[in-house]
Amino acid sequence: MSDLYELKAQVVVVGAGPCGVTIANHLGMYGIRTVLIERSREILDYPRAVGVDDEALRSWQAVGLAEETLRDMIQNVPAKYHNSKGRCFAHVRPAAQPFGWPRRNIFMQPLTERALRRGLDRYPCVSVHLGCGLEGFVQDADGVTVTAKSDSGEVLCVRADYLVGTDGGRSTVRRLLDVELTGTTLASKWLVVDVEDDTLYEPYSAVYCDPVRPHMSIDLPYGFRRFEFMLLTGESEEAMQSAHAVEGLLRPHYEGKPMPTIKRSRVYLHHSRIAERFQVGRAFIAGDAAHLQPPFFGQGMNSGIRDVTNLAWKLHAVLTGRSGDGILASYDTERRDHALAMVNIATWFGKFYRPANRVYEMLRDAFFDLVQGLPNIRDYILQLRFKPMPRYVEGIVVHRGPIGKGSAVGRMFMQPRVETVDRKQMRLDDAIGNGFAVIGVNVDPARHMSAEDLAFWKRLGAQIVQVNKSRLGGKYLTPTSDGTLLLDDVEGGFRDWLMDRPAQEIIVLRPDRYVAAICRRTEIGEVTAEMRRLLR
């Protein structure tokens, strides 16, 4: 008879990949009793994600792990796109850091997963169970009962308030919820090859947009490199993974140079699919369990990090009584449309990598030659401004007046560096903490709130902030109310914000650093009333 272990928790997370460990770190930071179960005892060591964006780093910043994970990454990595003759027709070089971190970073996923797992050691409220596979779960009005079995036969029974499935593309949670993935699977297969002891000096990601065999070469940390080759019709997976075939694909890249050591290879199908819904009762799915996209845009894992960062603060708000459970429905409302947009653009990029014919290739090259002389269009492309950014029109957001394209509400807020009254400079998020924030630009929001409204924000755990124009030696600082955090706008980010939006003196930030509302100082009472209604 198997041993039976019973646990009580507030949240059960199934799957300890990057998304599962990220949400476990967020819940641990919030003090939420969390059980994390993972079928495998070891971190998978085969080719997977290689790209981390600034939004993911900002999420890890919230749990104090951005700097640690960044140490194992190559930062600000450019990308070069070549035509079938080998000519570079586009060179993407993202330099801006609007969210406080480099936009395009290359990483080794096992190293990052280890860092994220080590982060869980800080939280006594998080219990990790490796080698423990999900067997089933049942929901009722008060919670979820989860049953799992370890690889040694022990049975784990967990009673929790909520369940989060981050268990990958073949998600058991999604299957048990009877949620379908809709979309397509591309007919082409891709061979992914990782090499070590790399001898190429190509410190960028190279994409060869060939009509016959498109392929990629990606510079990885610590002397590794990744290649991805599209398999042609009639090429078998087994034959193309042989040492002879792989060496034949690699050799043109190493003419006159020693060949690297082939570490591993694997054949992938590319899926463009999204779940019909991200929530069923008290159970949620996120990451690859909720959406699958081709790797061409490097946003698969990053989209999943956005999912769990969105969900974590809402679970915390509900479980601590700061909000009604109705806000949990906004997870699907806010995340699903953007996840679909990322699936679609990744699918489009796959078609872009393989031009349909030579005429299409010539037109594409001519377009990129043309935009070199058009700075606005050139920078839009080369600085990755075309990446679809989340914008939450519905959900936990307050739109005052018509919803225009230029509105900041529902978008991620910038993260400039600021300075405290004791002259310490830091990123904005590190200064204001990980909860809600009500930020006044050259104004103290607390001075324009009623006692009742101020009490509401305090109960919510919000930080009231006044950001002043940059000063010398502190002499331009102005007094604030008790409890208002005073910051200095050392980089001029808030100065530029207010110059472009003179009627937007107060910004309400959610814990995930999306703008919940913007208003004048005289309108903060109305915004507070609407936030109280949304959070119930």
518/479 same-domain check: yes
Angle between the 524-535 and 451-459 helix axes, to the nearest 10 degrees? Answer: 40
| 132 located within any domain | yes
172/189 same-domain check: no
Give the Cα separation of 462 and 245 in Å (integer). 59
446/428 same-domain check: yes
- Give the SS3 label for residue 108: coil
- Give the SS3 label for residue 261: strand
| 443 located within any domain | yes
* DSSP at 406: T
- Give the SS3 label for residue 332: helix
DSSP calls for 8-24: E-SEEEE--SHHHHHHH
| 356 located within any domain | no
12/121 same-domain check: yes
Specify the pLDDT at position 86.
87
**Which among 199, 326, 353 is positioned nearest to 270, based on CA atoms?**
353
147/208 same-domain check: no
Q: Cα-Cα-Cα-Cα dihedral of 158, 159, 160, 161, to 10°?
A: 160
245/145 same-domain check: no
462/517 same-domain check: yes
Query: Residue 210 is encoded by which pair of tokens?
Result: 């060939």
Which CATH number covers residue 167? Answer: 3.50.50.60
**CB-side neighbour CA atoms (13 Å) of 18:** 27
Last residue of a domain, one of 253, 271, 289: 271
Give the Cα separation of 102 and 385 in Å (integer). 13
Bridge partners, 92 (sequence order): 79
| 260 located within any domain | yes
* Phi–psi pair at 158, nearest 5 degrees: -120, 130
| 245 located within any domain | yes
15/127 same-domain check: yes
Specify the pLDDT at position 138.
97
Total domains in the chain come to 3
| 394 located within any domain | no
Last residue of a domain, one of 217, 237, 271: 271
139/166 same-domain check: yes
Last residue of a domain, one of 271, 294, 319: 271
Query: Residue 363 is encoded by which pair of tokens?
Result: 């037109």
Query: Residue 528 is encoded by which pair of tokens?
Result: 């507070």
pTM over cut 0.75: yes
Give the Cα separation of 224 and 143 in Å (integer). 46
**Residue 364: exposure state from Cβ atoms within 10 A (0-12, 13-18, ≥19):** middle
Query: Residue 199 is encoded by which pair of tokens?
Result: 């001898």
| 86 located within any domain | no
Give the Cα separation of 321 and 449 in Å (integer). 23
Specify the pLDDT at position 155.
95
Q: Which domain holds residue 255?
A: 183-271
Which CATH number covers residue 214? Answer: 3.30.9.10
pLDDT digit string (tens) for the chain, length 536 residues: 356 678 999 999 999 999 999 999 999 999 999 999 999 999 988 768 899 999 999 999 999 999 999 999 999 999 998 988 888 888 888 888 999 999 999 999 999 999 999 999 999 999 999 999 999 999 999 999 999 999 999 999 999 999 999 999 999 999 999 999 999 887 688 999 999 999 999 999 999 988 889 899 999 999 999 999 999 989 999 999 999 999 999 999 999 999 999 999 999 888 889 999 999 999 999 999 999 987 776 688 999 999 999 999 999 999 999 999 999 999 999 999 988 888 887 777 667 677 667 777 777 777 777 766 666 666 655 555 556 678 899 999 998 866 666 789 999 999 999 999 888 999 999 999 999 999 999 999 999 999 999 999 999 999 999 999 876 555 556 667 788 999 999 999 999 988 888 778 999 999 999 999 999 999 999 999 999 999 98
441/327 same-domain check: no
215/113 same-domain check: no
Which CATH number covers residue 497? Answer: 3.40.30.10
312/189 same-domain check: no
| 135 located within any domain | yes
